[in-house]
Amino acid sequence: MNSTIAMLTWRAMVGRRRALLLLALPLVLLALAAGLRLAGVANVESTRGVLDGYAMGVLAPLLGLIIGTGVISSEIDDGSIVYLLTKPVSRLTIVLTKLAVAAGCIALFAAVPTLMAGLVMVGNDKGLALAYAVGALIGGVAYCAVFLFLGVVSRHAVVIGLIYILLWESFVANLVPGARTLSVKQWAISITSAVATDGSITAEVRLGVAITLLLIVTVAATGYASQRLRSLTLANND
């Protein structure tokens, strides 16, 4: 990890315009949690519905898209990535540093608000608050790795990412049982189920399969992104 790259990436991510966007999504979650609590209808079932539907189905993937593409694609678009690539830093170090910053953003803007929302609604009854926070963190990091890779290989990464989230994660994976095995959200739900009290959260994918696929996707996306950065260097040199 390179501290200079990390600092510059962090500053770019929390700039005024992007910070407002990153704050808007978790604030909606906290507002939902507070509203249910004030209305007196916050219970285990409603908490599970909000955290599964919004935290895992909307917050984690959308923040993963915004953050994952944001840590790299803007530098590629404005050409400043060429300056970075001329420095004596390995391409893998660049990608890993940016992914580490992305993971920190996911922890701050997805995992922590998810934990807070769960605690507001039902405390940590059945371990739901902590379980969904862990799931949002792990799922969000996997999304970041995938969308970071997309940010390297395509100038249309945000559009492709939105299509993936809306079509596959939100539609196909919810309606077609077999497709759930290839859903980042379902993998994260398996982790969530393992952290929560036994039986309180139902997982569609076995834990071992989920962990294996999460590792494969995250490592593969990171590795391919670093490889494509090497190609980008050669292309710019030409």
**What confidence score (pLDDT) does residue 32 get?**
94
| In contact, 175 and 95? CB cutoff 8 Å | no
| In contact, 157 and 147? CB cutoff 8 Å | yes
The dihedral formed by the CA atoms of 33, 38, 44 and 47, expressed in degrees to the nearest 10: -20
What's the chain's Rg over C-alpha atoms? Answer: 18
**What confidence score (pLDDT) does residue 143 get?**
97
| In contact, 101 and 158? CB cutoff 8 Å | no
The neighbour count for residue 148, using CB atoms within 10 Å, is 25
**What confidence score (pLDDT) does residue 237 get?**
45
| In contact, 81 and 73? CB cutoff 8 Å | no
d(Cα 32, Cα 13) in Å, to the nearest integer?
26
Question: Which runs of consecutive H residues, i.e. helices, occur in the chain?
Answer: 3-13, 16-39, 44-50, 60-70, 73-78, 81-85, 91-106, 112-122, 128-153, 157-163, 173-175, 184-195, 207-237
**What confidence score (pLDDT) does residue 154 get?**
86
Predicted confidence pLDDT, tens digits, the chain (238 residues): 778 888 878 887 877 677 788 899 999 999 999 999 999 888 989 999 999 999 999 999 999 999 999 888 777 766 667 777 777 788 889 999 999 999 999 999 999 999 999 999 999 888 899 999 999 999 999 999 999 999 988 888 899 999 999 998 888 887 787 788 889 999 999 999 999 987 788 888 999 999 999 999 999 999 999 888 877 654 444 4
d(Cα 131, Cα 35) in Å, to the nearest integer?
21
| In contact, 109 and 21? CB cutoff 8 Å | no
> What residues have CB less than 8 Å from 222, skipping those under 6 apart?
92, 95, 96, 99, 145, 148, 149
Domain extents in the chain: 3-237
DSSP 8-state secondary structure symbol assigned to residue 107: I
**What confidence score (pLDDT) does residue 234 get?**
45
- DSSP assignment string, 180-229: GGG-HHHHHHHHHHHHSSTTSS--SS-HHHHHHHHHHHHHHHHHHHHHHH
| In contact, 37 and 120? CB cutoff 8 Å | yes
| In contact, 195 and 131? CB cutoff 8 Å | yes
- Tell whether pTM > 0.85: yes
Query: CA 72, 73, 75: angle at the middle one, nearest 5?
Result: 70
| In contact, 126 and 180? CB cutoff 8 Å | no
